[in-house]
Amino acid sequence: MKVLANDGISKAGEQTLKNAGIEILDNRVAQDHVINFINENKVDVLLVRSATKVRQNLIDACPGLKIIGRGGIGMDNIDVEYAIEKGLYVINTPTASSKSVAELVFGHFFSLARFLHESNRLMPLEGETHFDAMKKSFSKAYELSGKTLGVIGFGSIGQEVVKMGISLGMKVIVLTRKPKTKVLTLEFFDGQTLNFEITSTNDMDAFLNEADFISINTPKTNEYIIDTPQFEKMKDGVYIVNTARGGVINEVALIDFIESGKVAGAALDVFEKEPNPEVLLLMNPALSLSPHVGGNTVDAQEKIGVELAEQIIKIKETIQ
């Protein structure tokens, strides 16, 4: 079996495949040449992340493909249903990067609540001449402890965000389309564990009216989850972080509500016009920004690589 990891794979994942006698090709093939490369090299497995697109034309043109794998959660760049109809296995790693994304959520929350994103921009430019003025302007900061964390979405990432919020002493509320109850376990360094039973709500108005900090952790949507009507129902001075997908929040409306003071600050790791975000977003001092790096930690990539490799090995055993 040959595997093309076209968008890369961790060393641990590569070694796991090699130990199982599976050949790994670590070439980086341009989208226009992927079909020819797969056919010429008799590739059985195509692994991608976000860069490589696996559409119907590729699936039809590569009859030797047996498995398509996505290193991550969302599979927007793969025609999943069509691939399955054609008899291919489609795999992903829905939980491997959850902690990394959740930690980025709180990295942004801390940055916003303490003005770190803005002070890091201004200190090199004005720290020598306007130190006292900046100290005063950044003094109206907030603790997260004791505040209400609102989490939109209750998948693996949403659950990790909830657990981190609990560990910080926040009150937690969760919004889902249909109410659901989950038992979440917090694990500590000394082996102790604590269980928390969390029941979500589908009452968006009550949710928005109560939350001090809002984290969006949903799959890709066809319409905005947060638009003008939702912003209007939020608390004054709310903080918002989107690490989900571009297009779940109306970025134009977001800027308007930041300027009105309704939104105290927001963070975006994903954008509607990715990879070319609007300049108005990039230049706004109330925004903490990152270039879609939610799952991009060494730890997450190690887990992703190993998890993909283990799934491939298991499938190989069933089809031989």
Which residues does the annotation mark as catalytic? 245, 274, 292
Cα 307 to Cα 97: distance, rounded to the nearest angstrom: 11
DSSP string, 90-142: EEE-TTTTHHHHHHHHHHHHHHHHTTHHHHHHHHHHHTTTSHHHHHHHT----
**Cβ contacts of residue 126 below 8 Å, gap of 6+?**
134
Tokens of 162: 């909830």
Tokens of 141: 């900061």
Cα 108 to Cα 89: distance, rounded to the nearest angstrom: 36
Let me know: does 105 contact 85? Beta carbons within 8 Å. Answer: no
Cα 141 to Cα 220: distance, rounded to the nearest angstrom: 32
Cα 318 to Cα 3: distance, rounded to the nearest angstrom: 17
- Measured CA distances, 18 to 40, 288, 302, 309 (Å): 21, 41, 15, 9
| Signed CA dihedral, 276, 257, 102, 104: sign only | positive
Query: ∠224-7-304 over CA atoms, to 5°?
Result: 75
**Cβ contacts of residue 15 below 8 Å, gap of 6+?**
none
Closest CA to 273 of 248, 244, 241, 247: 247
